[in-house]
Structure 1
Amino acid sequence: MSDIMRPIPFGHLMDWILTEYQTQGSVFGVSKLVRHSSGEALSIFDEKIEAPYGPAAGPHTQLAQNLVAAYVGGSRFFEVKTVQVMDGEELSRCVAKPCITAEDECYNCEWSTELYVPQAFDEYVKAWFACKLLAKELELGDPDGFVFNMSVGYDLAGIQSPKVDAYIEGMKDASGSAVWQACMEWTLSHLDRFQKVDEAYVRSISPHVSRSITESTLHGCPPDEIERIATYLITEKGLNTYIKCNPTLLGYAFARSTLDKLGFDYIAFDDHHFNEDLQWADAVPMFHRLMKLTGERELEFGVKLTNTFPVDVKAGELPSEEMYMSGRSLYPLSLALAAKLAKEFKGKLRISYSGGADIHSIRALVEAGIWPVTMATTMLKPGGYQRLSQIGRELMDLPYTPWEGVDAARAAALAEAAVTDPYYHKPMKPIPNRKSDQKVPLIDCFSAPCRGGCPIEQDIPAYLMRVNAGKYEEALEIITRRNALPFITGTICSHRCQDKCMRNAYDESVYIRTQKLKAAEGGFDALLPKLHPGAPVADKKVAIIGGGPAGMSAAYFLGRSGVDVTIFERKDSLGGIVRHVIPAFRISDEAIDNDVKLMNAMGVKVELNHEVKDVQALFQQGYTHVILATGAWSKGSAGLEYGQEMNVIEFLETAKKDPGHLNLGKHVVVIGGGNTAMDAARAAKRIPGVETVSLVYRRTKRYMPADQEELELALADGVEFQELLAPVGVKDGVLTCHVMELGAPDASGRRSPVDTGRTATVPADTVITAVGEKVDTALYTANGLEVDKRGKAVVNRDTLESSVKNVFVIGDGMKGPGTVVEAIADATRAARAIQDFDVDTYVDKNVNPDYQKPLSKRGDVCTDCKSCEDIRCLGCATVCETCTEVCPNRANVAVAVPGMRQRQIIHVDGMCNECGNCGTFCPYASRPYKDKFTLFWSEEDFNNSENQGFLKLDGTNTRVRLDGTVKDYDVSDPACGLYDPLRRLICAVYDHYPYLLG
């Protein structure tokens, strides 16, 4: 059953590890192994660690394979997952599933191991023994160069229970346990599997798995109970002891104001935990007492920063009422607490850090004396455990000097810097939905999300590879197969492709638009002379009314297909809104002219200063088809109750052609929150005499439709954002507005504005309305086209043909203001309906013939994307496998199938607890743990699941559930009747990955 984890026996675990490493060079999917060869180490708990980092108590430390994956990735400090008296099925029933989502900041609603305590003990011992073997066999470093740290909770009675007490004693000395004997016996009987491990080494492995413990308590635990637990662990158990502390020690006001300043104002919580949790006044003297107590016993005391930060579920993030926040939103809080404690204790209090640490911060933390550092959120993101390898490389040259305390001044400086560092600021706009609307297929699920996010499905990976190699002409040739306007889209495209880019879960999306422009500029001179019209098509002659992006694109595609095509444009130049309205600081005429040249190369004829209102007249002139691409030039209105407003199109046209003719006064207000409003506001700032430009919108910046970068550019130009204001009217240089407030979030988290009943005023000599430009309905009705209730032409959605035969409507004139690339998509659809052409010419070029090249980039985060010479593309069309990376339990596995191009994904049911994290990052609208082909280890689990998948019976006989039907097959027989790609996948598991079988 998918949410029940089935621990892997030690022999199976080691067979998996050794076989996978021998055949693939990886261990549980981690191929970037970190080796320590210097012999140096840091001292902690009278033990030593070769590196001061590792996984935090959480999803990455609950199973043996998780700990092993973290170890080969370079971790040397492991805070194993918390155990408590409530465990197993009883605890699992209390954990809502899915329980993790790490899209940006991370949330979870799970807290301790879902295994039974004895099972958890077995997992930690197996992992300890396996890591000792791998240290020697794979030469990863000193076999004694890593530390396991226990974590227990949540009250003294539970910790003293026989079950938890046996766990603690077993971790202190596992030599008498059955699992220790099983590890020892398997290894001694399989020494032939090893090259560097012998009997003497195996028998020398220490059974003292852990000498330290971290106390975890629930919110609201009284301070005297916290101290009693710690005292018991120190005096009765003789353990080096840390206490997990919460950011609630900082106080509600500090936490709330800090998150608000960083843009996390939408994260909801009240003050009750701050009032009920451990208080600063109680914590400080307690810590002093415990430091004294451990000092007397030659033990170590410290604090773990930080434990959970509880917040409310407001937008359905998880199926619970409260959840725990971590990741980059927690970092400034955890670091502030670290700095406060360092100052209070003059650096003498040991701090184990876990609160949003990652590659961006870990070196500075360690250099400040704040270590060990444990992580979870960064490992839950694409790259997974392999992110640890980059951290290992980053820290490899650190001096291995004894800990002399926390540098309080440096810690304070880090805390102060975190509040101003852009990395820790939430973008003004929510992260765009990265998912497609398609369900993940059982086979061949590799996909380039960027292509799916692009309205014209450009062959983005293909041209990015060419640009990266300096092959600009080839890149431009690939681009222009689907995109007639590479210069315009390379400059001002809204780049929805970047919203879907998997790289934005690492650092920043690949700058796809920038690379497109680079290809256009670098390949233009070489490609242009080679472009020509297609072979003439008889009996087709097309008139296009409107020479904007839609009309130009349709003309380009038709001309390339050999169709006789003419554009009729009412203005004196082509380019439409882009030419005549979008400010020159956004796009130059030269860029537009280059796209016109590409179009002209296809033999397109152009009639400028020629307005056409009678479609039938064109048919009478011999045209067989007419495309209306007239744009959305009709005025929108803000609906002011009184006063004058200037239409944004009129303003921008004048501002571009004759700015000196404008007299806007000192104070300008732009009403609207879209990209056009940002253009207007920025253009108004450049008009002589204008002192202030205010942008009025009834929601906050977070809910404005404008793109994040357009908001940032407007702010950089000095535009003043007047949020939560709904305009009423303008009079005597003053715009009066209703003051709004955001109501409760809906299911999607969106908050609608609600009138407060108050009013506010904004200085306004001129009000520019940048809302809702409309289509010219009169043109359609005059020519007999059917329109809908909003005045838009009724069209066939597949061809964009209107109700009048052979008359097509495309672009803004069809659906209202849209993007340039949407106009190109419309043009493609209509042009193909008139004269079909192939858009898939270069689809296969999206796949890198060198599979390992994109795979080698997985896991590495770029810390300075602006300066990175590499494009950073992950090559998702060649290799995705994101679900395998983000699974803490390694339950999604990539399997090479002979004769199939890419590796296929198998979901291993027994290793999954349905945390849901793979569902967050899968580029499809799917949950791999539910929707990928599943391998079951037992008939019980097969029967208790609805997943499509298979169960091995005897030999090659296999039980398969497919489309709700269960049937047995002999998969060795190609004619067995099973869908052949699935049959071959199952055979690949049997033949080459037998260790996946239970």
Structure 2
Amino acid sequence: MSDIMRPMPFAHLMNWILSEYKAQGSIFGVSKLVKHDNGKALPIFEEKIESPYGPAAGPHTQLAQNIVAAYAAGSRFFELKTVQIMDGDELSKCVAKPCITAADECYNCEWSTELYVPQAYDEYVKAWFACKLLARELELGDPNGFVFNMSVGYDLAGIKSEKIDKYIEGMKDASATAVWQECMDWALANLDKFQKVDEAYVKAITPKVSNSITESTLHGCPPDEIERIATYLITEKNLNTYIKCNPTLLGYEFARKTLDGLGFDYIAFDDHHFVEDLQWEDAVPMFHRLMKLTGERGLQFGVKITNTFPVDVKAGELPSQEMYMSGRSLYPLSLSLAGKLAKEFKGMLRVSYSGGADIHSVKRLFEAGIWPITMATTLLKSGGYQRFSQIGEELMDISYDAWAGVNVEKAAALVDEFGGDGYYQKPMKPIPSRKLDKKVPLVDCFLAPCRNGCPIEQDIPAYLMLVKAGKFEEALQVITHRNALPFITGTICSHRCQDKCMRNAYDESVYIRGQKLKAAEGGFEALLPKLRPAAPVAGKKVAVIGGGPAGMSAAYFLGRSGVDVTIFERKDSLGGVVRHVIPAFRISNAAIDNDVKLMEAMGAKVELNCEVKSVQELFDKGYTHVILATGAWNKGSAGMEYGEEMNVIEFLEAAKKAPESLNLGKNVVVIGGGNTAMDAARAAKRIPGVEKVSLVYRRTKRYMPADQEELEFALEDGVEFQELLAPVGVKDGVLTCKVMELGEPDASGRRSPVDTGKVTTVAADTVITAVGEKVDTALYTANGLEVNNRGRAVVNADTMESSVKNVFVIGDGQKGPGTVVEAIADATKAARAIQDFDVDVYVEKNVNPDYQAPLAKRGDLCTDCKNCDDARCLGCATVCETCTEVCPNRANVAVAVPGMRMRQIIHVDGMCNECGNCATFCPYDSRPYKDKFTLFWSEEDFNNSENEGFLKLNGSNTRVRLGGQVKEYDVADVGCGLYEPLRKLICAVYDSYSYLLK
């Protein structure tokens, strides 16, 4: 079945590794191999590790291929996935699937290995042997320069059981086991496959896989049981021993306050685990006793920080009631516990660290004496195991002195730092979904999510590459083919493209808007003189009523297409809300003027100070088409019961044109939570005489509609946020508000405000309401246009044509207040309906002819995005392959197919346990582990799955499930009747990737 993992025999494992490396230079998709050739290593457990990091006990140490991939990427300390007496099918039934989601902080509802214990044992031995062979053959480092650390749980009776005891003893010495002999026999029989591995080397590989162990205990395990287990492992099994510690040692109040202060206040948990888990007063004397016990036996004792931190499922994150949190939200708690223990034990308690460590923190953790460092969450994100490659290079120049204790001062300094480190601060707004409203296709699934997230589908990868190359004129040419307003959108666009950017899963999205402005400013002078409209189009004459972004865009596209077009604007200049309302500190008139020049270069005519209200009058004057682009200027209202409110548009117009005319008093309140409210609050701060500006909203900042950056700008300007307040009325300089609270989350996690019955007051000499402007319904009805129940014109969604023939309605005046780029999208539809043009002229330029260029960026995080010279674009239109990176088990594989563009994705059923992580990161609204074309290893698994995919029979005969139908094909026959791209894909697997087959 799809969620049952089928471990590979050692022969298959090694054939895959050696074949892939020979053909592609990679090992299970890891192409950035880390080699340790300085001859240095850190002593640990009477062994040594060339680097102090590796994968934590979890999904990345469950199968042999996972461990090998981590080793190839530089890992040298491996915390093997926990084994316990309950295993295999019995345990698997207890694990809800999917069980992992790592979109930002990570959550999981898995625990120990889903394999049977003997299977898990075999995987660890196979991985040990494979890493030994690869160390020598590929010269990755000292074959004895890495350490395997066991992990067992969860009670003494289970650990002493025959099954777990056999596991422990086998890990201490594998020489008498069948799997060891399997590995040895294969290696000796296949020496011809190696250049640097000989018989003597193979026979000298040590069977002593592990002499250290980490004790994992379930929540609520009594302290005496924890100590009994540790004592048994030390005295009876003679093992260097770590005990996993939970953040619950810090106490509920500390954990709640810390997470709340960092913006993780939505993470729900109560105090019951804090009460039931190991207590500080029990832990400290226990650790002293165990340190003494190991010291007497020449062993090492330490703690593993941290074990799981259980939180409640509140927004359907996973199909369970409770889940375990990890990643950057766990880092402050884990680090705080490490610092507290370091201080208590004067640095002499060894700490094995896990809990949100990544490229941002590993080196400082090591320098504080906190190591080895194991990680899981960072590997579950885009880049996957190759994130370890960057970490490996980062740690090449460390001191290799023996551990001398945790540096208490440095540990304390790290604890002090995280509160002010923005990296560990949750954004005020939830990270927008990266998902597109599309299902992943079986083939050719690469696309640029940024383009699909943009309402006008700009050719973003194309112009990013041109900007990087310094070709600003060409970049601007690409931009202006779809975007008539590069200066306006390059300055104030809401950049929904960046919400979809796959770079979000690394560090920050590419600053696409800034790159657009860079192209506009760098290419404008060269491009403007070369712009020409097309040859005049006979029989078409268009009037555009309204000279805001929508009207300007429509005129630009129509003029470029050769259509006679005129804008009628009631004000004295073009630009609409952008010119007359949005504050100058957001966008300059010069930027708007440049977009006007681009429009005029296309032959569009303009009549200012001219208000047109009759469509028929325009038709009577010979216009064949009319576009209404009048904006949404009618006042909105906060619905206060009493008192006066100033309309936000009126205020912003006055603040921009004549700020000296405004007398707002000392205290100004802005009601609303959108971008316009932020503009108003920031503008009010700049009005003479104003001392305090408060922004009142009935929810918290997290649920405000304003963009994250607009919230940040308002806070930087000193605007005070008055959250969870609903205005009642204003009188005598006082705004009375109802006090609200957030109710229980709905299925999406959104929490609606609930009236508490309490009231409070806010000082308010002036109240400005920014709660949404309205369209001028009267204009539509007066001209015979059909309107809906919200007073907005009814239009054809594809053409923007209204119920009156040849009359179109676009922009804010059609749908209500929106974004500039949405206005451009409307204008594009209307213009194309009148005179069509090809929007896809530059689509092919989105693909980088150098396939390796974007691949070279995979796995590398930028630790200082603001000052990075590179745009950091991952080139998703050229190559995606994200699902291959984020799969811990390597179950999604990229396959080059002759005659098809780029590499295609194959899902290998036998390597997948349906953890669901690939579904989190796939840009489509899909689950690659369910929705990508699947390779099956057995008829049983083929029959027990619903995935579309194939099973190799004999020769080129293949059983295929497609569209719910199962048929057999001879895929060597071009005319076999199978969909040709899938036939080519299967043939590529058979011809060039036969190692995928079992």
Q: Distance in 2 between matches of 1:138 and 1:842?
A: 43
Question: For residue 734 of structure 2, what is the aligned residue in structure 1?
Answer: 734
Write out per-residue CA displacement over residues 350-386 of structure 1, whole angstroms, 9 at most, x where no aligned residue: 0000010000000000000000000000000000000
Match of 2:974 in 1: 974
Distance in 2, Cα, partners of 1:606 & 1:533: 16
Distance 2:207 2:933 in 1: 40
Counterpart residue number, 2:187: 187
Match runs of 1:814-893 below 5 Å = 814-893=814-893
Q: Distance in 2 between matches of 1:27 and 1:285?
A: 46
What does residue 287 of structure 2 align with?
Answer: 287
> Corresponding residue for 2:432?
432
Whole-Å Cα distance in 2 between the matches of residues 170 and 769 of structure 1?
72
- 1:371-382 paired onto structure 2 within 5 Å: 371-382=371-382
Matches within 5 A, 1:907-918: 907-918=907-918
- TM-score for both structures, normalised by structure 2: 1.00
Matched, 1:509 2:509: yes
Q: Please give the secondary structure, in 2, of the residue aligned with 1:961.
A: strand
| CA distance in structure 2 between the partners assigned to 1:276 and 1:2 by the alignment | 37
1:316 is paired with a residue whose SS is: coil
Once the two structures are TM-superposed, the CA of residue 792 in structure 1 deviates from its matched residue by 0.2
Separation in structure 1 between the aligned mates of residue 690 and residue 294 of structure 2, nearest angstrom: 68
Return the letter of the residue paired with 1:135: A
Matches within 5 A, 1:729-808: 729-808=729-808
Cα separation, 1, equivalents of 2:648 and 2:564? 36
* Deviation by residue 1:731-776 (Cα, 9 ceiling, x = unmatched): 0000000000000000000000000000010000000000120000
The reply to whether residue 170 of structure 1 matches residue 173 of structure 2 is no
> Any idea what the Cα deviations from partners look like across 1:795-844, whole Å, max 9, x if unmatched?
11111100000000000000000000000000000000000000000000
The 5-angstrom pairing of residues 316-465 of structure 1 reads 316-465=316-465
The match for 1:104 is 104
1:170 to partner: Cα distance = 0.2
**Distance in structure 2 (CA, Å) of the matches to 1:569 and 1:448:** 37
Whichever residue aligns with residue 824 of structure 1, its letter is: I
Counterpart amino acid of residue 15 in structure 1: N
> 1:482-881 alignment to 2 at 5 Å?
482-881=482-881
2-side partners of 1:344 and 1:785: how far apart?
Answer: 77
Residues in 2 aligned to 1:37 and 1:802: alpha-carbon distance in whole angstroms: 71
* Cα drift, residue 416 of structure 1: 1.1
**Is 1:77 equivalent to 2:46 in the alignment?**
no
Match of 1:226?
226
Whole-Å Cα distance in 1 between the matches of residues 740 and 253 of structure 2? 24
Partners of 2:120 and 2:627 in 1: how far apart? 68
Residues in 2 aligned to 1:367 and 1:21: alpha-carbon distance in whole angstroms: 34
**CA positional deviation for 1:420:** 1.6
Amino acid in the other structure paired with 1:440:
V
The offset of 1:945, in angstroms, is 0.3
After TM superposition, the runs of 4+ consecutive aligned structure 1 residues lying more than 6 A away are none
2:576 is aligned with what amino acid?
Answer: G
Question: How far apart in 1 are the matches of 2:798 and 2:253?
Answer: 56
1:446 partner SS: coil
Paired letter, 1:329: S
Describe the SS at the equivalent of 2:419. Answer: helix
Partners in 2 of 1:569 and 1:466 — Cα distance? 36
In structure 2, the gaps of 5 or more residues are none
Structure 1 residue 418, shift from structure 2 partner: 1.0
Percentage identity across paired residues of the two chains: 84
TM-score, normalised with respect to structure 1 = 1.00
Q: Distance in 1 between matches of 2:934 and 2:416?
A: 48
2: distance between equivalents of 1:64 and 1:796? 57
Match in the other structure for 1:114: 114
Per the TM alignment, residue 523 of structure 1 is displaced from its structure 2 partner at its CA by 0.2
Question: Counterpart of 1:29 in 2: which secondary structure?
Answer: coil
After TM superposition, give the deviation of residue 455 of structure 1 in Å: 0.2
Query: Which residue number corresponds to residue 20 of structure 1?
Result: 20
User: Match of 2:45?
Assistant: 45
SS in 2 for 1:267: coil
Structure 1 residue identity aligned to 2:632: A
Counterpart in 1 of 2:253?
253
Partners of 1:447 and 1:384 in 2: how far apart? 20
- Name 1:942's counterpart in structure 2: 942
Q: Secondary structure at the match of 1:745?
A: coil
Amino acid at match of 1:452: N
Structure 2 residue 203 is matched with structure 1 residue 199 = no
Helix, strand or coil for the counterpart of 1:744? coil
What SS does the corresponding residue of 1:224 show, helix, strand or coil? helix
| CA displacement at 1:467 relative to structure 2 | 0.3
Name 2:148's counterpart in structure 1.
148
Distance in 2 of aligned mates of 1:932 and 1:298: 53
Amino acid at match of 1:882: T
After superposition, the C-alpha distances for 1:420-463 in whole angstroms (9 at most, x for unaligned) are: 21100000000001000100000000010000100000000000
Corresponding residue for 2:931? 931
- Structure 2 CA distance for aligned equivalents of residues 379 and 839 of structure 1: 39
SS of equivalent to 1:656? helix
CA distance in 2, matches of 1:442, 1:831: 35
Report the Cα offset of residue 566 of structure 1: 0.3
Per-residue deviation, 1:145: 0.0
Whole-angstrom distance in 2 between the partners of 1:130 and 1:148: 13
Equivalent residue of 1:15, what SS? Answer: helix
| Secondary structure, aligned partner of 1:737 | strand
Structure 2 Cα separation of the partners of residues 466 and 30 of structure 1: 29
Correspondence list, 1:122-161, <5 A: 122-161=122-161
Give matches, 1:294-313, under 5 Å: 294-313=294-313
Q: Distance in 2 between matches of 1:901 and 1:97?
A: 34
Segments of 5+ residues of structure 1 without an aligned counterpart are none
1:272-321 Cα distance to aligned partner (Å, 9 max, x none): 00000000000000000000000000000000000000000000000000
Across the two proteins, how many residue pairs are aligned to each other?
Answer: 998
Secondary structure of the corresponding residue to residue 767 of structure 1? strand
Aligned-partner residue type, residue 81 of structure 1: K
Task: Give the structure 1 partner of residue 277 of structure 2.
Answer: 277
Distance in 1 between the 2:421 and 2:330 partners? 14
Take 1:345 and 1:429, find their aligned partners in 2: how far apart are those partners? Answer: 40
Instruction: Give the deviation of 1:887 after TM superposition.
Output: 0.1
Shift of 1:710: 0.0
Q: SS of the counterpart of 2:462?
A: helix
**What are the superposed Cα offsets for residues 611-662 of structure 1, whole Å, 9 maximum, x if unpaired?**
0000000000000000000000000000010000000000000000000000
Work out the CA distance in 1 between the residues paired with 2:490 and 2:772.
26
The one-letter code of the counterpart of 1:909 is: D
* 3-state SS of 2:743 partner: strand
Whole-angstrom CA distance in 2 between matches of 1:814 and 1:405: 67
SS of the aligned residue for 1:596 comes to helix
Residue type of the alignment partner of 1:504: N
Q: Give the distance between the partners of 2:789 and 2:891, measured in 1 at CA.
A: 52
Deviations 1:573-599 (A, max 9, x none): 000000000000000000000000000
Letter in 2 for 1:173: D
User: SS of the counterpart of 1:149?
Assistant: strand
DSSP-derived class of the 1:728 partner: strand
What's the offset of the Cα at 1:399? 1.3
Q: Deviations over 1:37-96 (max 9, x none)?
A: 011100000000000000000000000000000000000000000000000000000000
Give the deviation of 1:572 after TM superposition. Answer: 0.2
Q: Which amino acid aligns with 1:284?
A: V
The offset of 1:899, in angstroms, is 1.1
